[in-house]
Chains A and B, each alone.
Chain A
Amino acid sequence: MKAPRSSMGGLLAAPAVLYMVVFFVVPSLILFVYSFWTAASYRIVPDFVFSNYLNSLMSPLFWTVTINAILIGLVTASVTLVLAIPVGYYLVYVSRSQVILYLILITWFSSYLVRIYAWRTLLGTSGVLNTILIQAGIVDTPVGVFLFSRFAVAITLIHIYLPFCILLVVSSLSEIKKDLVDAARDLGASPLGAFFRVIAPNAANGLVGAFMLTFVMVAGDYVTPQMLGGSSGQTTGLLIADQFRKTGNWPLGAAQAFLMFLVSIVIYLSVMGLGRATGLVVKRRPARKAGG
């Protein structure tokens, strides 16, 4: 009885698995192989050199945009998580408000480009924010730094990825029973105390996961920096995208994509290390796995 069931399972899973192998795993491997090839006069030559990696690491431009990407990524992911937690907390423990949930889903489903465009019109020199500031008499001349800066990129990215982060926080908080919070409150903990001493340690893995996913998405986003970053807010994502669109040095772009991947892993390990050192992240057995 057992054997035919599982072989049937294998057969049913095969098309999807095959699809993902051919169109996701294989392309990723080709991209990795590409990162060791060379591009000479618009032709890509199979090779095995580390120059793409070395040239990137030696290039000041690469470091400028990568540090930008890391800074924007860390600030954005932190602010996004800090904003997502109260909303997630409210939805899980206070009121499962369908209205709030659907308002979040509406922003999540509203077009990515539309939201970038919205911030562009909001922050422009003749944009809504400047008009309000001038009419309120706070400033005399339009503030130009709103647009085309790291600030503009960060606020737009927060807006784009906050709904996603809220949903991740909701799912990680849902695993912690309200009884635990109630018990802590009965024993005299303040609401914030209950959060930091009871919820945060238990939900740490989920919250770190939400932070990291937001970081990876934000640091890899290249459209927002292109539209709103000006010259100071460029990131590695845009550098990589340009290698595949304008300059045409695909192997170099491939190497930079993998370097960015490496940076994300280093950040993840640092965040986990920091969490353990401060005692906020506790190593615990993944009890969830056993339940399926």
Chain B
Amino acid sequence: MLLKLVVWSILAFLLMPLVIIVLFSFHASPSLSFPFAGFSLRWYAEVLGNAQLGSALVKSLTVAGFTALITLILGTAASLAWLRLGHRGRVLLEVLCLTPIALPGLFVGVSLLVLFAQARVQLSTVTIVISHVVLALPILIVAMRARLALFDPSLEEASRDLGASQMQTFGKVTLPLIAPTLIASAILAFAVSFDEFVVTSFVAGTETTLPMYIWSMMRRTVTPLINAISTLALVFSIAILFAAWLIGHLRRRSAVASRTVS
């Protein structure tokens, strides 16, 4: 009982700042302190009328979309490879994936900046996408690896034994089995990219993503406008999380269904 109380106090600590952010996004006055001066949607109206914010959002969505796509292609191949690799191959892949996860974003950011400078690559949206894939790919491979541990390679062998070609086996056996995992992982990569700030701040050049825009606002002032943007970002994150959960849920149901059929 005491443990339960402790756990919920810790959760309250985690959630309280987010609740405060959301609450003040509806504040009728520009101040961010109590007493609360009443509810208003004026900051949300301001968000909608802000063209710079709109273009930063479009930039972020574009970057996150391309990051998710590239990560998904590279990560799927690597995860399928994982099922076929020997011990040494797996260790190599593991080291390559876990090291960037265990390093601060600062290190990854400055080393990519140095690479682009040395290769004389102009900083642009392309360099942002390249950098985001470096962050998202290891997370995707690690997440997929856990899910693919349940995958039974003998299903592929059975398909090959029954005369299916390698491409047919992939299209009709492997892909349908791993598709939900792929989609959930792509959503994860999208979320990582959409929120990324530290690495982006080094490789963005003159481009402005949504977190970069929020950062420039945060440095100048404290206004409920930032709360309104933050609340929308929060709602977006929860929606992403919900989508990933839904896909996982449906997958479990279809897995159970297929088990009863066989």
Pair from one complex = yes
Q: Which residues of A contact B (CB under 8 A)?
A: 5-6, 8-13, 15-17, 19-21, 23-28, 30-31, 34, 83, 86-87, 89-90, 94, 100, 102-107, 109-122, 124, 126-128, 130-132, 135, 159, 162-163, 191, 213, 216-217, 219-223, 227, 237, 240-241, 244-245, 250, 253-254, 257, 261, 292
Q: Which of A21, A28, A112 contacts B197 (CB 8 A)?
A: A112
At the interface, yes or no: B184 with Cβ under 8 Å from chain A? no
Query: Contact: A27 with B111, CB < 8 Å?
Result: yes
Query: Contact: B10 with A87, CB < 8 Å?
Result: yes
28 inter-chain pairs at a CB distance below 8 angstroms, sorted by A residue, are A6-B84, A9-B84, A13-B78, A16-B81, A16-B93, A19-B74, A19-B133, A20-B134, A20-B138, A23-B130, A24-B100, A28-B107, A87-B10, A105-B241, A107-B15, A112-B198, A113-B211, A117-B21, A118-B18, A124-B32, A162-B13, A191-B3, A227-B218, A237-B104, A240-B106, A240-B110, A244-B202, A261-B107
CB neighbours of B218 from chain A (8 A): 113, 116-117, 120, 227
Q: Which of B34, B78, B103, B114 contacts A128 (CB 8 A)?
A: B34
Q: Which residues of B contact A (CB under 8 A)?
A: 3-4, 6-7, 10-11, 13-15, 17-18, 20-21, 24, 31-34, 73-75, 77-78, 80-86, 89, 92-93, 96-97, 99-100, 102-108, 110-115, 117-118, 130-131, 133-134, 137-138, 141, 149, 191, 195, 197-198, 202, 211, 214-215, 218-219, 222, 226-227, 230, 233-234, 237-238, 240-241, 245
CB neighbours of A220 from chain B (8 A): 103-107
Interchain residue pairs A-B with the least CB separation, the first 4? A220-B104, A9-B84, A13-B81, A12-B81
CB distance from A251 to the nearest CB of B (A): 10
CB neighbours of A118 from chain B (8 A): 17-18, 20-21, 230
Evaluate whether A9 and B110 lie within 8 angstroms (CB atoms) in the complex, with A16-B74, A19-B133, A128-B20 already known. Answer: no
Query: Contact: B237 with A110, CB < 8 Å?
Result: yes
Query: Contact: A119 with B85, CB < 8 Å?
Result: no
CB distance from B126 to the nearest CB of A (A): 12
CB neighbours of A23 from chain B (8 A): 112, 115, 130-131, 133-134
CB neighbours of B238 from chain A (8 A): 106, 109
CB distance from B252 to the nearest CB of A (A): 13
Interface centre among B33, B34, B191, B234 (most CB of A within 10 A): B33
A219 and B104 alpha carbons, distance in the complex (Å): 8
A106 and B15 alpha carbons, distance in the complex (Å): 9
Query: Contact: B141 with A110, CB < 8 Å?
Result: no
CB neighbours of B138 from chain A (8 A): 20
CB distance from B100 to the nearest CB of A (A): 5
In the complex, the number of residue pairs spanning A and B with C-beta atoms less than 8 Å apart equals: 240
Query: Contact: B197 with A117, CB < 8 Å?
Result: no
CB distance from B19 to the nearest CB of A (A): 9
A126 and B33 alpha carbons, distance in the complex (Å): 6
Query: Contact: B84 with A86, CB < 8 Å?
Result: no
Query: Contact: A24 with B3, CB < 8 Å?
Result: no
Residue of B nearest to A241 (CB): B106
Residue of A nearest to B90 (CB): A292
CB distance from B165 to the nearest CB of A (A): 13
CB distance from B160 to the nearest CB of A (A): 10
Query: Contact: A257 with B241, CB < 8 Å?
Result: no
Query: Contact: A121 with B24, CB < 8 Å?
Result: yes
CB distance from B185 to the nearest CB of A (A): 13
Residue of B nearest to A4 (CB): B84
CB neighbours of A24 from chain B (8 A): 96, 99-100, 108, 111, 134
CB neighbours of A83 from chain B (8 A): 10, 13
A28 and B95 alpha carbons, distance in the complex (Å): 14
Interface centre among A19, A240, A257 (most CB of B within 10 A): A19
A253 and B99 alpha carbons, distance in the complex (Å): 21
CB distance from A268 to the nearest CB of B (A): 11
A260 and B205 alpha carbons, distance in the complex (Å): 26
Residue of A nearest to B149 (CB): A292
Evaluate whether A113 and B197 lie within 8 angstroms (CB atoms) in the complex, with A106-B238, A126-B32, A240-B106 already known. Answer: yes
CB neighbours of A126 from chain B (8 A): 31-33
Query: Contact: A10 with B20, CB < 8 Å?
Result: no
Query: Contact: B17 with A119, CB < 8 Å?
Result: yes
CB neighbours of A15 from chain B (8 A): 73-74, 77-78
